[in-house]
Structure 1
Amino acid sequence: MNDFEGTGEHADAVADEALGESPEVRAFLGVGYEPLARFHDRLRDEGEVRGLIGPREVSRLWERHILNSAAVVPYLAGARSVADIGSGAGLPGIVIACMRPDLEVHLIEPMERRTAWLSEIADDLGLTNVQVKRGRAEEYHDAFEVDAVTSRAVAALSKLARMSLPLLRRGGEMVVLKGRNVAQEIDPARKVLRTFKASEPEILEGTTVPGVESTTIVRIRRG
């Protein structure tokens, strides 16, 4: 890394820290702000070393990861239970649990080192509404049902639907964070969507605070 790159990354980190301390972010995150500030600090200090985030992500945790994850929460208003598939570092599962302490949140993650992190973070933040489950989503298809299933950058929509829809009660919703080109994934997913009598996928905009780029959310209801 040259001096210019280092200076740029430092400037990005300073700007991101300032964003995280802003009144707008505090207001948007509500009761979740204090635990999420602690979560941010743990990710900043340990995330790269523990293989949870890449080195370039350390300087943009608030904007790129925490707020991006938080954009899904307004679409969970009617839920009382959520399963987050492929929770990884806790994005969006830990963010959801912090912002909605009334929710029962199941964090499903196959990798042992990541489930260890998730359990550690849940204990550190006092998240009594979190259950960490090690394994693939398919292993829990007959174990429980929830009101909503979330995920972030896990798989193409066809595969994601096969993983997610069996976890939902009838009338429950997949509410997943996807890339801008997700419309291209809808047709290949239609066969599995018909199997579960699922609704037509809705492509929604997830917004948080002014100046932070919105994200793309797909919502599908199990019929």
Structure 2
Amino acid sequence: MSGLDGRPGGLDAPRPDETALEPPEAKLLLGTGLPRARAFVRELAGEGVVRGVVGPREVPRLWTRHVLNCAAVAELVPAGAVVVDVGSGAGLPGLVLAMARPDLELVLVDSSLRRARWLEHVVEVLDAADDLPPLRVRVVRGRAEELVGTVRGDVVTSRAVAPLDRLARWCAPLAVPDGLLLAVKGGRADDEVTEHAAALRRTGLRDVEVVTCGGEVLEDPTTVVRARVGSRPGGRRR
């Protein structure tokens, strides 16, 4: 089979320069999904830049800043969960979770036709390997608020989509009762939780907390706002 860029080798044959850039932590976080993750990085660095889903300046840090940052979130997701990834964009974190955790079912949601087509393209590319089962992924184009009642998950994820108050308003209705919201955030996560505490309570979120994941593997662990989605208010921090 030809490689994804037309050269022989397939998913297990990354370019020499990409092999050098691949961090050793990748195997620990991605496991059997590593060959697909290599292919994903190649697609992001090539077709992803052409289609405008990632900027050229992000290419040197696709592994560390993006793929591994998302793969670390897998430790927070219960086994066998249906995960709805809101504003999936380039496939972060949803597509990475699908590669790292083949037990999960992923619904990648994005309102942009351009990004939805990219997601469909890259899923097709990653499923082209004869020796790997198809990813358990489907792409849904639409705004989160328009999909209430038609898309639902045990876990709803997002990364770099919106401030926490708006994000909660969009994501909470897509979760089953007592489901989880996992919002990948940066260094201001604690400030956001404090600032938007009242809005989070109004959306029915409870047990709101800021957690880190991947700390035993990554130099810069991933910061996540985790909350339980329910009908009763609470908003308590642990």
Normalised TM-score (structure 1): 0.86
Q: Which residue of structure 1 lines up, in the alignment, with residue 149 of structure 2?
A: 142
Deviation at 1:125, TM superposition (A): 1.1
Per the alignment, in what secondary structure is the counterpart of residue 98 of structure 2? helix
How far apart are the structure 2 equivalents of 1:186 and 1:125?
Answer: 36
Length, aligned pairs only: 209
How far apart are the structure 1 equivalents of 2:102 and 2:136?
Answer: 6
How far apart are the structure 1 equivalents of 2:17 and 2:207?
Answer: 39
- Gap change, CA 1:17 and 1:141, over 3 Å in 2: same
Q: Which residue of structure 2 lines up, in the alignment, with residue 202 of structure 1?
A: 209
User: 1:218 pairs with 205, 216, 225, which one?
Assistant: 225
Q: Which residue of structure 2 lines up, in the alignment, with residue 179 of structure 1?
A: 186
Q: Which runs of 5+ in 1 are unaligned?
A: 1-13
How far apart are the structure 2 equivalents of 1:117 and 1:180?
Answer: 29
Deviation at 1:191, TM superposition (A): 3.3
Confirm or deny: 8 A CA contact 2:153 2:175 kept in the other structure: yes
Map Cα deviations across residues 148-170 of structure 1 (whole Å, 9 max, x no partner): 00111001110000011000111
Confirm or deny: 8 A CA contact 1:16 1:59 kept in the other structure: no
How far apart are the structure 1 equivalents of 2:196 and 2:58?
Answer: 31
How far apart are the structure 2 equivalents of 1:38 and 1:170?
Answer: 36
Confirm or deny: 8 A CA contact 1:19 1:25 kept in the other structure: no
Map Cα deviations across residues 158-194 of structure 1 (whole Å, 9 max, x no partner): 0000011000111100011001112222244333432
Comparing 140-149 with 86-95, greater Cα deviation is found at: 140-149
Map Cα deviations across residues 120-172 of structure 1 (whole Å, 9 max, x no partner): 11111124411101011111112132100011100111000001100011110
Q: Which runs of 5+ in 2 are unaligned?
A: 1-15, 128-133, 231-238
How far apart are the structure 2 equivalents of 1:53 and 1:182?
Answer: 23
Per the alignment, in what secondary structure is the counterpart of residue 96 of structure 2? helix
How far apart are the structure 2 equivalents of 1:79 and 1:193?
Answer: 27
Q: Which residue of structure 1 lines up, in the alignment, with residue 30 of structure 2?
A: 29
How far apart are the structure 2 equivalents of 1:100 and 1:211?
Answer: 18
Superposition CA RMSD, Å: 2.0
Q: Which residue of structure 2 lines up, in the alignment, with residue 11 of structure 1?
A: none
Q: Which residue of structure 1 lines up, in the alignment, with residue 90 of structure 2?
A: 89
Give, as a single letter, the amino acid of the residue that structure 2 aligns with 1:81. Answer: V
How far apart are the structure 2 equivalents of 1:180 and 1:172?
Answer: 25
Identity, % of aligned pairs? 41
User: 1:193 pairs with 194, 200, 205, which one?
Assistant: 200
- Gap change, CA 1:140 and 1:37, over 3 Å in 2: same
Map Cα deviations across residues 104-130 of structure 1 (whole Å, 9 max, x no partner): 100000111111110111111124411
- Gap change, CA 1:124 and 1:38, over 3 Å in 2: same
Confirm or deny: 8 A CA contact 2:206 2:227 kept in the other structure: yes
Confirm or deny: 8 A CA contact 2:29 2:72 kept in the other structure: no
How far apart are the structure 2 equivalents of 1:86 and 1:128?
Answer: 19
How far apart are the structure 1 equivalents of 2:122 and 2:18?
Answer: 22
Per the alignment, in what secondary structure is the counterpart of residue 33 of structure 1? helix
Deviation at 1:208, TM superposition (A): 5.9
Give, as a single letter, the amino acid of the residue that structure 2 aligns with 1:40. Answer: V
